Amino acid sequence: MIYDLHSHSTASDGVLSPEKLVERAAKKNVQFLALTDHDTTDGIAAAQRQAEVEGITLVPGIEFSTLWKKQTIHVVGLNIDPTSEAIATGVGFLKQKRVERTERLAARLEKCGVENALHDAKRLAGEGNIVTRTHFARLLIERNLVKDSNAAFKKWLGHKGRAHVAGDWASLTQAVEWIVASGGQAVIAHPGRYRLTRTKLMTLLGEFKDAGGEGLEVSCSSHDRNVRQNMAVMVRRFGLKASVGSDFHVPGYPYIELGYNLAIPDDLTPIWQNWH
């Protein structure tokens, strides 16, 4: 059974439509796919329809942007109810935060000579969709200002970039509460990517668990074997459940593919323990 519980569509910063994403997951033999777009549930209905066609299970999800001790932490919600009041509140709150961040970031870029940054980032995101830094990266590539998205983040959009604007997101506790109130399970996404010290990671996991958080992504495309082992240790220590997800955004990278390389140690309790 292949589970992939973290993926993106055009509703946020993925390049495949929800339908195409589900089609691809089925081709890769994924039986349980969670669509977890950044701060939106807009792709879920279409993904669910396609999952029925393909005969696989679509797990309704989201990836909330949160701020914890001045650090951006992503919290995935699995089996959320997209029609619930709690999720609607969360999505509404973050939509507003994103509009503000997008405008500030575009203003910085325009000040650095990147004309029409706001207009073009919105165009690249698509009518009505949220705008992320990924769209600004695509814009910088389109203008030949950088050669790839790595360079876009390094030179412009990342921590030390010329146009960096810190997002003012939801609190960690708040995001976990939205997820749990909607009947979902909260999972810390790609914990290895935050470069936290061991002590700080343990503080994060303690607060997360106290807020009602349930899972930790152990296996994901940004974790090497060593990080996976360390995260498995944390799962055991904090009595969490293990989650897995490719964080797929775009085809063409064999090591970041739907359902690819997502095994977890046998002794861990998987987040899907009580699903069926």
Site for ligand AMP in 157-186 (CB under 6 A): 158, 167
Q: Which residues 6+ apart lie within 8 Å of 208 measured at CB? A: 172, 176, 186, 188
Stretch that binds ligand AMP, among 20-28, 126-134, 171-179, 225-233 (CB under 6 A): 126-134
Residue 65 in contact with ligand AMP, rule: CB under 6 A: yes
- SS3 of the chain: helix, strand, coil, percent, to 5: 40, 15, 40
Q: Which residue lies nearer to Mn ion by CB, 55 or 252?
A: 252
Site for ligand AMP in 199-228 (CB under 6 A): none
What is the total count of residues that contact ligand AMP (CB under 6 A)?
Answer: 12
Residue 149 in contact with ligand AMP, rule: CB under 6 A: yes
Site for Mn ion in 214-243 (CB under 5 A): none
Site for ligand AMP in 15-54 (CB under 6 A): 38
Q: Which residue lies nearer to Mn ion by CB, 131 or 211?
A: 131
Question: What is the C-alpha separation between 44 and 59, in angstroms, rounded?
Answer: 9
How far, rounded to the nearest angstrom, does the alpha carbon of residue 251 sit from its chain's CA centroid? 16
Residue 37 in contact with Mn ion, rule: CB under 5 A: no
Q: Which residue lies nearer to ligand AMP by CB, 51 or 121?
A: 121
Residue 14 in contact with ligand AMP, rule: CB under 6 A: no
Residue 182 contact, options ligand AMP, Mn ion, none, Cβ 5-8 Å cut-off depending on partner type: none
Torsion region of 195: left, alpha or beta (phi above 0 gives left; psi -120 to 50 gives alpha): left
Question: What is the C-alpha separation between 71 and 86, in angstroms, rounded?
Answer: 24
**Residue 21 near residue 9, CB atoms below 8 Å:** yes
What is residue 132's three-state secondary structure? coil
Residue 13 in contact with Mn ion, rule: CB under 5 A: yes
Q: Which residue lies nearer to Mn ion by CB, 82 or 167?
A: 167
User: Which segments within the chain are labelled E, that is strand?
Assistant: 3-4, 32-35, 57-68, 71-78, 170-171, 185-188, 215-220, 241-245
Q: Which residue lies nearer to ligand AMP by CB, 150 or 229?
A: 150
C-beta of 162: minimal distance to ligand AMP in Å?
Answer: 15
Classify the C-alpha dihedral 91-3-193-17 as positive or negative: negative
Question: What is the C-alpha separation between 10 and 276, in angstroms, rounded?
Answer: 29
Where do contacts with Mn ion occur on this chain (CB under 5 A)? Answer: 13, 63, 74, 189, 247
Where do contacts with ligand AMP occur on this chain (CB under 6 A)? Answer: 13, 38, 65, 132-134, 149-150, 153, 158, 167, 249
